[in-house]
Amino acid sequence: MEKIRVLIAKPGLDGHDRGALVISQALRDHGMEVIYTGLRQSPVQIATAAIQEDVDVVGLSSLSGAHNTLFPKVVEELRKRNAEDIPVIGGGVIPNEDIPFLLEKGIKRIFTSGSSTDELARYIKQLVRPDEALDPPKRINHIGIAVNRLEDALPFYTDVLGLSVEAIEEVESEGVKVAFLKIAETRIELLEPLHEQSPIKKFLEKRGEGIHHIALEVDDIEERLAQMKRKGIQLVNEEPKEGAKKSKIAFIHPKAANGVLVELCEQTGGGDV
Amino acid sequence: MTYQHENAQSRWEKEVEDILKRFPERKDEFQTSSGIPVERLYGQDQPDYDLGFPGQYPYLRGIQPTMYRSRLWTMRQYAGFGSAAETNKRFRYLLEQGQTGLSVAFDLPTQIGYDSDDAMSEGEVGKVGVAIDTLADMEKLLEGIPLDKVSTSMTINAPAAILLCMYIAVGEKQGVPSEKLTGTIQNDILKEYIARGTYIFPPKPSMRLITNIFAYCQEHSPKFNTISISGYHIREAGSNAVQEVAFTLANGMAYVDAAIESGLDVDAFAPRLAFFFNAHNNFFEEIAKFRAARRIWAKIMKEHYKAKNPRSWKLRFHTQTGGSTLTAQQPDNNIVRVTLQALAAVLGGTQSLHTNSRDEALALPTEESARIALRTQQIIAHESGVADTVDPLGGSYYVEALTDEIEEKVMDYLERIKEYGGAVQAIEEGFMQREIQQNAYETQKRIENGEEIIVGLNRFTVEEDVNPELLKVDEALGKEQIENLERIRAERNNEEVKEKLDILRKHAQNPDKNLIPAILDAVKAYASVGEICHVLRDEFGEYTGS
């Protein structure tokens, strides 16, 4: 597969290119071919370079406050040259209130101060090659086991197997109380229904105690769901919802996975999980 | 070392050993931003430092004998946006609030020598600073501000000579002779090539303009600081503390070399050289950095350049807190960052200080944010007590060890730059740029993998909607500025402008001519920044990056 080609450009007179340079280097480390224009490029110069270099995406950086004038001009100059299929993204010091205007003018996305370069690289990959295989799931995050009562089930895991309880918490959205037992990189998740409407209650009534689901840890849960949807894979949740321990989760229908309920989960960054 | 001390030390070492078995330390290795390893404890061998005295060579402890006990540092907040009239209002507000010096931010077209109506200026007029096209704008900018009483710092580099001439011309109109003017022009083109990007001409003619200013001011404005050799932007571009000092001092040496080569005596201009550093996050490393820079520069000036006037040995510096350390997330946290950075600058002996506003990662500061930033300095000055003794951290085992270590690492860099043939060649070959970029990239990676913690960014985050009140530059301003410029062009004596520009062109063609008198004449005839720069572009060419 050919490398994704990116043009990183500094429109206007702004001389702050630390961000542009760091991003160029980071995208190269992500396997992309990056062309950096250098300082003081006019929208015409940027559009011309994008076409000549046959890039897949243009990234604009501005810290001087000229973004509202210059970013839309780049989109316009590309359109004039019949190259509106080259997506334009932007970043720098850009107040939140300016973002809707820029999106309306055809900039695909704005990355503001504090964005991570990994996030940017993933975004570009999805933008340019939406159907390219995503990285496979990283690990089995946990195996969910439906139980009638946590206190009856726990002694086997703690006293007999000798595992320790990492956390017990209630997940309102699923109507369950869960206990996590850590085993090396993964966990066993015991699920007790909180009320009659809980899906776990229904599961127990139908099948009795037993393995309920397998959770696979992934990045980009939204992108992955969108991609699966495009491929016609039957999903229980088309949008992620909040799961235990501040994660984002979504279930794939058992029909799509040989009768196994598969959960996708993404640990959301930042805080101590 | 006494027996008692040895005894206590071995007891401590034993205890450390026991504790480490049960509780490992937070990290395997502690380091400063410059990669200097940080020991568990300093001073175990009770080193005996010869620190010298403040006000005496090599000025480790400060350049004045009494430092802030006599006079506090100058509180100088950088400001400027939109039109000259609007910025004039902000200046008067800051002076009323107790600020003691002005600092002018110019917009990018002014800094790169384009008029507001130039196609290159589109979208940039009045954005990051005030737009100045002709002397008329400068008159409005300084209206009602007594230039014999207020010192003014101007962040202007490639066209520094033009803005300096405008300042002199406004002074004349106020009845203040140029000899009485005080202030600073940044005038540091080398760091523009390295880190800041507002260059116009290639290095050689740029160095000529700079040495022309040195020579002119020595005679006509002897109280004006003719250059502010800046590490600030080098640090903002991603360097560490050691690189900041090393590259700044290397640039300083390049200016001294150029001035000597142009025939000036070192003691004639060196007392007017000023410096400008960043105050970053690593508290003790920053304090040590300022102290080390002072000692190194004194040695260079005395031993290498054989300057005889003690004023030539003194490194006087302005400090600004680190803009790139501010986060857009939880912006009020920035007030705390700025406080610590400002404290480091004061403990490091700065001569003047700008404290950043909490909202600068989002936009230009609002009036309220700018006031909190100034109040931060006033609280340090008047409430904390740190200004009541000279160099309060002098003799701290840790600070002195760091100071020595930074000096050593800076000297290594200066040696490498010398091997390139000096700062100008090192820049032309991209050496400093590469070093800075590598460090910037590594810093970013450390932040992204959580090795370096930025509160509110990669730890202790909250869901928030950051939409504070931001300062907006009126979009109509560009149009107004262009109309004003057109009016000036219609009203001025265009014959005279042409004549003065022709003289400037002739002088530019003769490398032995000092260009300042011709620029001053053109400015007084209301020739614009763009017109003057276009003449010089024709003659000197343009720098296009390395």
Q: Which residues of B touch A219 (CB under 8 A)?
A: none
B328·A13 Cβ contact <8 A = no
Which of B369, B433, B439, B448 best tests the A interface by mutation, with the highest count of A CBs <10 A?
B448
Q: How far is A107 from chain B (nearest CA, A)?
A: 17
Which residue in B545, B491, B414, B546 sits closest to B134, CA to CA? Answer: B491
- Quote the minimal CA–CA distance from A130 to chain B in Å: 25
CB pairs under 8 A between A and B: 102
The torsion defined by the Cα of B4, B5, B11 and B14, in degrees rounded to 10, comes to -150
Contact of A199 with A192, CB cutoff 8 Å: no
Q: Nearest C-alpha of chain B: how many angstroms from A201?
A: 33
Question: Which chain B residues are Cβ-neighbours of A65 within 8 angstroms?
Answer: 124, 127-128, 363-364, 473
Q: Do B127 and A25 touch (CB under 8 A)?
A: no
pLDDT tens, residue by residue, A2-31: 899 999 999 999 999 999 999 999 999 999
**Is A69 within 8 Å of B122 when comparing Cβ atoms?**
yes
Q: Read out DSSP for B403-453?
A: HHHHHHHHHHHHHHHHHHTSHHHHHHTTHHHHHHHHHHHHHHHHHHTTSS-
Question: Are the beta carbons of B114 and A13 separated by less than 8 Å?
Answer: yes
Q: Is the ipTM of this complex over 0.90?
A: no
Cβ pair B362, A95 in contact under 8 A: yes
Contacts of B467 in chain A (CB under 8 A): 96-97
Nearest chain B CA: its distance from A83 CA (Å): 23
Q: State yes or no: pLDDT of A271 exceeds 60.
A: no
Mean pLDDT lowest among B52-61, B249-258, B460-469: B460-469
Residues of A with Cβ-Cβ distance to B457 under 8 angstroms: 114
Residue B1 has a pLDDT of 60
Chain B positions touching A96 (Cβ under 8 A) are: 465-467
Overall average pLDDT of the B140-152 stretch: 93
Cβ separation B362–A93 shorter than 8 A: yes
Among the partner-chain residues B461, B466, B470, the one whose CB lies closest to the CB of A271 is B461
Confidence of residue B79 (pLDDT cuts 50, 70, 90): confident
Residues 6+ apart with CB under 8 A from B38: B30, B31, B32
Task: Give the best residue of A13, A62, A63, A73 to mutate against chain B (max B CB count within 10 A).
Answer: A13
Q: Which residue has the tokens 């909607």?
A: B465
Could you tell me which residue, A119 or A143, shows the higher pLDDT?
A143
Closest approach of B161 to chain A, Cα-based (Å): 20
Pick among A8, A17, A18, A117 to test the B interface (most B CBs inside 10 A): A18
What is the identity of the amino acid at B336? V
The residue-averaged pLDDT of B69-77 equals 92
pLDDT tier at B73 (50, 70, 90 boundaries)?
very high
Question: Residue B124 is nearest to which of A26, A66, A112, comparing CB atoms?
Answer: A66
Binned at pLDDT 50, 70 and 90, residue B422 comes out as: very high
Q: pLDDT tens across B217-228, in order?
A: 999 999 999 999
Q: Which residues of A touch B458 (CB under 8 A)?
A: 269-270
Residues 6+ apart with CB under 8 A from A84: A75, A78, A106
pLDDT value at residue B78: 80
List the Cα angle A89/A91/A94 in 5-degree steps. 125
Which pLDDT tens digit goes with each residue over A190-222? 999 999 889 899 999 999 999 999 999 998 788
B194 in contact with A, Cβ within 8 Å: no
Q: What is the pLDDT of residues B490-511, one digit of tens each?
A: 999 999 999 999 999 999 999 9
Look up tokens 């022309």; give the residue.
Answer: B212
* Pairwise CA distance, residues B87 & B80, whole Å: 5
Q: pLDDT tens, B207-252?
A: 999 999 999 999 999 999 999 999 999 999 999 999 999 999 999 9
Average pLDDT taken over every residue of chain A: 90
Q: Cβ contact (<8 Å) for A96 and B466? A: yes
pLDDT of residue A273: 31
**Gap from B174 CA to chain A (nearest CA, Å):** 34
Per-residue pLDDT tens over the stretch B374-387:
999 999 999 999 99
CA distance A244 to chain B (A): 17
pLDDT in tens, A57-116: 999 999 888 999 999 999 999 999 999 999 999 999 888 889 999 999 999 999 987 788
Helix intervals (H) in chain A: 18-29, 43-52, 67-80, 99-104, 117-128, 150-155, 199-207, 221-230
B95/A contact by beta carbon, under 8 A = no
Asked if B467 reaches chain A (Cβ–Cβ under 8 Å), the answer is yes
The verdict on a CB contact (< 8 Å) between A93 and B467 is no
Q: How many alpha carbons lie under 13 Å from residue B117 in its C-beta half-sphere?
A: 15
Interchain pair A38, B545: CB under 8 A:
yes
**B123: which chain A residues are within 8 Å (Cβ-Cβ)?**
12, 66, 68-70
